[in-house]
Amino acid sequence: MAPEPADEGAALPERPRTRRRVWELLADRVFVAGTAVAAVSVVVLLVGIAGFLTRGGLPTIYEFGFSFLYSTTWDPTRHVFGVGALVFGTLLTSAIALLIGVPISIGVSTFLSEEAPAAIRTPLAALVELLAAIPSVVYGLWGLVILAPLMRTQIEPGLRDSLGRVPVVSALFGGTPIGTDVLTAGIILSIMIIPTVSAVSREAMSAVPRSQREAALALGATRWETTRTAVLPYASTGIFGAAMLGLGRAFGETMAVTMTIGNNPAIPSSLFGQGQTLASGIAGQFGEAGSDPHLVAALLEAGLVLLGITLAVNIIARVLVRGVFRGGEASA
Amino acid sequence: MRPRGFLRRRVVDWVARVLAVACLVAALVPLLSILWTAATLGGPRLLDGWSFLTGPFAGPCSPNITPNCSYGGIGPALQGTLILVGVAALIAMPTGILAGIYVSEFGKNRFGRTLSFLADVLSGTPSIVVGLFAFATFLYLDPTLVFSTLAGAFALSVIMLPVVVRTTEESLRLVPRSVREGAFSLGIPQFRTTLRIVLPTGGAAVVTGALLATARAAGEAAPLLFTSFGLESQLGFQGLDHPVNAIPPLIYLWGYGEPYANWRSDAWGMALVLILMMLALSLFARWILARRANLIGGMS
């Protein structure tokens, strides 16, 4: 290597570097602009998704108007389309998912954030997060082979013979248990939202200042009283945001629901009835998608409806969750 | 003298703890059941080794396994998944990492924060909607490419992109400001500082994010249904303009749509392959993150 001239000190200003400076300035500009273009692709995609689905769905938007949203007739052979039953199925399965999944998630995050010994927190949290790594289609296969038979032979008859005799709720637990039905799909969804909801709730609970807990403990509160009076109220916005994130995931979850809900585009008569969600309804008809332009338009508009619902829920969730963590960082 | 109600409060505290543990158990039982089922039903198929991973599909059997009808391989589907994910990564990684750089390094304004927020929103878009979007896009651009490997890879890249953007942003934010200031004070231009100093410092975490995005995309079936999934194709990859099989949609088809016992069994084998891929990728990601924690911890 040739000996380099000393590059420091007084020698520096005299070296002719002007041309290099200009090049570097230009490269800087180009680089920043390039990254900005890449970043704008996120916006382009979001607008593109909404735009292309709207454009493709225009035929059914014109033909059926608002009745597309509430009509419960989905009949590809007669070219009559309404997603009322699918919207109902989406809301029902997601409600089941939240009713079961959110309390369990809060319990998990309470244990991992407040109760568990420090040494086992991280491995247990990693184990719960593994639930998120399992692909949707594997959940579906498991639901079909393991959960659905269990539901048909054990859980659903049990529910029918117990809750099915309680006056008001009996309508929910009537009918013949089939196994692949709305309740099974809802339970699968509840399992699938646990990793998201519990991880975000746990972060929200970790963001609670230590002084809150110490104050409660100093007043003589037990662990649980500390959690109930000092931690959960403080973290409630974040936990609510976490539940909304879970709701967004449940709305859009496709393969696992398609494989377990029974795929019947009608409003089920009870939780043991077969139903359909927006996502599973779209997925179930991929085979015919290429051939029938009416069906394609209806599927794209159904996708647009699903996009609208999930966007609304996700935006609320993200606003809540981000607000919590920004506030937490500021006070820390 | 203990205060009144002390015993009751102790009992409530104990009950709350038991309930919290019960919730954890309730969350882990399905996980263990899924892993156990995949291992017992899919494990025997995987023990066939190379012939399972690379062999051709089996023909359909009667609903029962008979002597003259047997299990097959998943070669075409595994090949398809690798190609789809590879092409998707080629699209999403450069775009996502550059976008993440923008948001973290230059976007410290309302626009940058909005982009980061929108990336989160995009990552919450249902995968079936992304599949429909790719379908509608190619229907508009070139109808002959609607059912093609390219359309499937495009859909997967849309799934990957927001994850890469957000993880790149988060990992570059962890790089201490002093590192950048040091580079600027030496007169190093911004692009070189970013590419040669900031990115390598946060690099391990960026790679982790890329791995997680890849893992997420590799397990997706819904975006491929309307794009690349060739129902009848027994062959492997035949070009970007042709449909291609992939593991997740084939699990759906063989595990749910078809009654043949040998295909159902092969579907469980594929499920186990997917789970093992996910486990390997997330363990590798964790290992990288642990190493990075040491590196940055030593620097600041």
- B24–A111 CB contact, under 8 Å: yes
pLDDT for position A246: 94
Q: Are B131 and B226 a contacting pair, CB within 8 Å? A: yes
- B16–A223 CB contact, under 8 Å: yes
Residue A3 above 80 pLDDT? Answer: no
The lowest-confidence range among A181-195, B7-21, B33-47, B248-262 is: B248-262
- A259–B255 CB contact, under 8 Å: yes
- Does B282 contact chain A (CB < 8 Å)? yes
Give me the percent of chain B exceeding a pLDDT of 90.
Answer: 34
Which range among A90-104, B38-52, B185-199 has the greatest average pLDDT?
Answer: A90-104
pLDDT for position B230: 67
Element (H, E) at B149: helix B149-173
Closest CA to B146 of A301, A137, A300, A81: A300
Residue A298 above 50 pLDDT? Answer: yes
Closest CA to A42 of B102, B256, B251: B102
Residue B27: which of A27, A131, A227 has the nearest Cβ? A131
- Does B107 contact chain A (CB < 8 Å)? yes
> pLDDT, tens digit, for every residue of A197-250?
999 999 999 889 999 899 999 998 888 999 999 999 999 999 999 999 999 999
How far apart are alpha carbons B194 and B187 in whole angstroms? 13
Residue B182 above 80 pLDDT? Answer: yes
Residue A259: which of B256, B268, B286 has the nearest Cβ? B256
Residue A6 above 50 pLDDT? Answer: no
Q: What is the ipTM of this complex?
A: 0.90
Topology of domain A85-284+312-331, per CATH?
MetI-like fold (1.10.3720)
Does residue A10 or residue B276 have the better pLDDT?
Answer: B276
- Mean pLDDT, residues B9-25: 92
Which range among A214-218, A267-271, B173-177 has the greatest average pLDDT?
Answer: A214-218
Q: Which residues pair with B229 in a beta bridge?
A: B244
Mutation target for A interface from B35, B95, B129, B160: give the one with most A CBs within 10 A.
B129
pLDDT for position A8: 47
Mutation target for A interface from B18, B101, B125, B132: give the one with most A CBs within 10 A.
B132
Mutation target for B interface from A94, A113, A137: give the one with most B CBs within 10 A.
A137
The whole-model pTM stands at 0.89
Q: How far is CA A151 from CA A60, B168, B194, B259, in A?
A: 38, 43, 55, 21
Listed in sequence order, the residues at least 6 apart from B56 whose beta carbon sits closer than 8 Å to its beta carbon are B72, B73, B75, B76, B234
Q: Are B132 and B227 a contacting pair, CB within 8 Å? A: no
Residue B129: which of A255, A259, A307 has the nearest Cβ? A307
- Mean pLDDT, residues B66-90: 84
- Mean pLDDT, residues B145-168: 92
When pLDDT is cut at 50, 70 and 90, the band that residue B232 belongs to is low
When pLDDT is cut at 50, 70 and 90, the band that residue A11 belongs to is very low
Closest CA to A110 of B13, B23, B12: B23
Q: Residues of B numbered 187-226 whose beta carbons fall under 8 angstroms of chain A's beta carbons: which are they?
A: 189-192, 194-195, 215, 219-222, 225-226
Q: What is the residue extent of each domain of chain A?
A: 85-284+312-331
Query: What secondary structure does DSSP assign to A256-267, as a single string?
Result: HHHHHS----S-
> pLDDT, tens digit, for every residue of A110-159?
999 988 888 888 889 888 988 988 999 999 999 999 999 998 888 888 88
Residue A270 above 60 pLDDT? Answer: yes
When pLDDT is cut at 50, 70 and 90, the band that residue A326 belongs to is low
